[in-house]
Structure 1
């Protein structure tokens, strides 16, 4: 069972079989431990799962070489490796505990080298529940906790029961908001559900995908027409590129659903790896709205963000908030993420000089907005309270021409707010204004810690 939105998860949802309510009520449900109190271990199925994975890897790699000694030897060695891996997994499982102590998450791990981590939940940046296909079948889930503090700050709990993972996620978010860990899970309201047809069409209706597909067809026809096997040297990279650029996102974002909740933005998506991502309020640092050339006729865009806590590969993996969405809903999400803003109404002033005439810059009391790109339009939106550095950049040639670029830095991510081709005097005025607005916004805006228990300023 994948993650379902609230409207589709209950017995009154469309397509629910008649009589399913009574059958479900009569079905015995094994209660799972209350993970909000005391110390707990991962689910016991973690032990045989790890042992089976090690045995399969051995059978697929060294086991193939050992086939020359006979099938019984391979079977004996595989079972031996499996039992040894199971014993190690059992001891590791027994020495792995986690629990909530006050507003801290305490995790003890390690068999030979004991490691204890006590994490203040005020530093919590995001909570994800991930369920690969095999884990879905077993009724398990992996809980990923993102913290402020760099690439080594991620906490992974593998694997918990599905209901235990959901309950622990809600408890962690409640603690981060300054509430009791036993606070019921916050309600949510539907925001956007991505139709499969729109996702399929938008992913296919891109210049790189269309060009790669046409070239692949031409090479296929040429190979059959001239009986030339050399075309495989071009077909294989193109096929791999299509799988990465088209099939990968298609499987990743199928069943995509976004909802808004007091504890943040909730995203559900995925087929072979179902994922529920929760970004608490105040963790989104900047937003990018990407509109490829061919998407303009469809009226859809992609929304990306710099999310505090995600770094490196995890940042690139979790930066997309809405993969395909109508343009008006993209700006509506920006206004929800940054309360008090109206990014769609910020007046954009185009560059006055140079080759960057599609570049534009707009500033109001809440955000700075930049636009760039000719074939792929990119709009970067950064709240003044989230700016870290404001720079005026001008090389020797640009200085001779009297132009400069205004650059706004935020925490790591895809957003790179930069407005080029500005008059030098105008760029200086913009930089001074952004510094002043940033100082005022930060002095009047509280941080994201314990947001639910703060009094309004």
Structure 2
């Protein structure tokens, strides 16, 4: 009978809630490899005239120098949790320490490019309130360490212990690959560019004219960006809800897990392109507090392709108490363009615009930052005005044009009163878990 050997004990998981930690050691060889490849691709090519031996010797010298720098840099970067603060130390000659209260946390993303997936590494991105320089990136961590740190940060932001187990999730929507493929192709810009590309290629072959490549190549690059880019980005898209917020997972070559805590979504818009109406699908975008500039546009899409009824279900989940689909929308009386309409109920300000591409924008009264009623010289002569509700930066621009002056003033006053009442009765998103517990009447 074969002898039984005891199984090797499992390696204990790193406790990210205690002490200081460093990035994964694989960060050092990765940096050295990148610098050596850049040297070979640029100066190395020019140095080939001196012989392959000199090139290899110089590359080795560059790699050794890069290794020494990467080692010292890695040693001087550390992070840890101190109370409800995230502390990050960086810098070589100039030491920089950042201590960030997690009550300012806006979103936590775990990003895994293809190479990092192979190596079992991940990058943790922490978005904070405060502008372009507020983002913190920890690259690279072990995958399990990154996910555990993400859960710990979200728990601290909710007012719970950092050792709280990861919150369970409730499945909401999984995007079928066939629907994503068809929706991305079934768009007027994509179809027009594809037909024009085919015409240029056919004309070039028929008349043996290679000059058409001057127009065909840019069209092909544009198609790759507008079709293949979103296709690869949103493949394996999965959305779920959990107590710590909305969770989104997507991506092939860059797998991403995005978590938006409760209360961070400020406004939502539902976009329905002309050709998508026959498919019954829409796109859902949002203004998310904390994301600014390029990061805002990169992370504003909540659902790239989704059935229309599920889009409204998502809005109702993000803004509890709202029933956006049932809000009565009133068309513009004067000066409105296309299908412009406005609706206001006790919970949200809703607008609809667009003739070919229909856009519905929703701003809860509690999220309104400022209100405006504008009327230019021509508008005043026509007796109309535009009502606008401002939110943090993002794709949503809630505005209703072509409203009669008396109606516009009535809407403005009504929204201002409801917004004040909503903010007075609704607490902010900070420490939402402990706040809800303390508010429990049974305690």
Preserved CA contact (<8 Å) 2:121 2:141: yes
1:31, CA displacement in angstroms?
3.6
Relative to structure 1, the CA distance from residue 275 to residue 179 in structure 2 (aligned partners, 3 Å threshold; closer, same or farther) is same
Could you tell me how far apart the structure 1 residues matched to 2:318 and 2:349 are? Answer: 15
1:158, CA displacement in angstroms?
0.6
Preserved CA contact (<8 Å) 1:141 1:162: yes
Could you tell me how far apart the structure 1 residues matched to 2:70 and 2:118 are? Answer: 20
The reply on whether 1:111 has 2:92 as its aligned counterpart is yes
Of residues 120-129 and 229-238 in structure 1, the stretch that sits farther from structure 2 once superposed is 229-238
The reply on whether 1:291 has 2:261 as its aligned counterpart is no
User: SS state of the match for residue 134, structure 2?
Assistant: coil
2:105 to 104, 116, 124: 124
User: SS state of the match for residue 178, structure 1?
Assistant: coil
Any gaps of 5 or more consecutive residues in structure 2? 1-6
Preserved CA contact (<8 Å) 1:32 1:161: no
Of residues 211-220 and 350-359 in structure 1, the stretch that sits farther from structure 2 once superposed is 350-359
Could you tell me how far apart the structure 2 residues matched to 1:158 and 1:350 are? Answer: 51
1:80 to 52, 61, 65: 61
User: SS state of the match for residue 229, structure 2?
Assistant: helix
Could you tell me how far apart the structure 1 residues matched to 2:238 and 2:145 are? Answer: 22
Counting matched residue pairs gives 433
Partner in structure 2 of residue 185 of structure 1: 166
Preserved CA contact (<8 Å) 1:307 1:315: yes
2:357 to 346, 371, 376: 376
The reply on whether 1:453 has 2:434 as its aligned counterpart is yes
**What TM-score do the two structures reach when normalised by structure 2?**
0.96
The reply on whether 1:98 has 2:79 as its aligned counterpart is yes
**Superposition pairs of residues 282-321 of structure 1, within 5 angstroms:** 282-321=263-302
Instruction: Return structure 1 stretches of 4+ with deviation > 3 angstroms.
Output: 26-32
Preserved CA contact (<8 Å) 1:175 1:181: yes
Preserved CA contact (<8 Å) 2:336 2:401: no
Any gaps of 5 or more consecutive residues in structure 1? 1-25
Over aligned residues, Cα RMSD in angstroms?
A: 1.3
Could you tell me how far apart the structure 1 residues matched to 2:127 and 2:12 are? Answer: 28
Preserved CA contact (<8 Å) 2:338 2:354: no
The reply on whether 1:163 has 2:144 as its aligned counterpart is yes
User: SS state of the match for residue 378, structure 2?
Assistant: helix
Could you tell me how far apart the structure 2 residues matched to 1:148 and 1:28 are? Answer: 43
1:62, CA displacement in angstroms?
1.2
Could you tell me how far apart the structure 2 residues matched to 1:360 and 1:418 are? Answer: 10
Partner in structure 2 of residue 433 of structure 1: 414
User: SS state of the match for residue 152, structure 1?
Assistant: helix
Relative to structure 1, the CA distance from residue 31 to residue 65 in structure 2 (aligned partners, 3 Å threshold; closer, same or farther) is farther
User: SS state of the match for residue 217, structure 1?
Assistant: helix
Partner in structure 2 of residue 209 of structure 1: 190
